[in-house]
Amino acid sequence: MKASLAVMMLLLTGTVAQAADLYRVEVMMFAYLDEQSAQKEHWQETLETEEEQIIPDAEVEDLPEDDGYAGESLPVDDMTEETPEPELPYQPLEDLEFADAATRFAYRNDIAIIWHQAWVEEIQDADNAILHDVDTVLEGELKVQVSGSIRLHRSRYIHITPDLSVQQYVLGFPLDETDIPEETSETEITEPAAPQDHPFAAFRMEPELIQETEVTELELAPEEPVWMPLRAAHIDRSRRMRSDEVHYLDHPLLGMVVKVTPYEAPPEEETSEDSAAPEADLN
């Protein structure tokens, strides 16, 4: 009897472990735009990027020999053929539960919604977690760019792991050293000296004044402002969550509100033939 119960428990446990439940996920990200709060901490201007890997010549394989198609145009049919778009591993949703909160945030100057989406997915284990790409830009007094991904996985609890890069820009005038004119020697701008008894000798400008006037005009030339890096941060942390609860992930540059709810697919609507059948029986 005990052996049969143990076998039954193992079967039930295995069934639960293999089952992938559907969940409705909603994520709303908002950028913090309060300059005074951001200045309280020290930030990098930009995030470090990985250097391009240089492959030694000895590891580069030889290119394949010419197959006869070099320089020839491809057939028209091959060029116009469209490849089907791959199916998404999740189902996007249009209805947003946080829509009212997003509307209220629109009246604030220190917060702005930058990414807001909802979807249905089968949350997998950590090794098979689905990546959701994030690439969005918000422009105002500051320009905020968020790129990276978020993923959810399930073990004993549901976990969400954002892997996001946040970059803030500010409008400014960059200093370009190439725009600063080199010092010109006196011999390059000095004209041949005129005799002292020349009638216009008193009206000639000294070479030093000519040089100073030219530099001032170049320095005061108008320029268009450009977006310059202000501060940046990388967000890579995991948060344990419970379903049916609103969770808040906070960072000085980016906030995130997340809610995960068990999802049941709505029943399929009855076809016209099925709905007309009872009426026929009544007649």
Q: Per-residue confidence of the chain (283 residues) as pLDDT tens digits?
A: 444 444 344 444 343 334 458 999 999 999 999 887 777 788 888 987 654 444 444 443 444 454 444 445 445 455 556 656 667 788 999 999 999 999 998 889 899 999 999 999 999 999 999 999 999 999 999 999 999 999 999 999 999 999 999 999 999 987 765 555 555 544 454 455 555 555 544 444 455 544 554 545 455 545 789 999 999 999 998 999 999 999 999 999 999 999 999 998 877 744 444 555 555 454 4
* Structure token pair of residue 10: 């193992």
- Whose CA is closest to 30, among 85, 131, 107? 107
Residue 45 makes CB contacts below 8 A (sequence gap 6+) with: 229, 230, 231, 232
How many angstroms separate the CA atoms of 232 and 145, rounded?
9
How many angstroms separate the CA atoms of 256 and 254, rounded?
7
Asked if 37 contacts 122 with a C-beta cutoff of 8 angstroms, the reply is: no
- Please give the model's pTM, rounded to 2 decimal places: 0.63
How many angstroms separate the CA atoms of 249 and 30, rounded?
11
SS3 149: strand
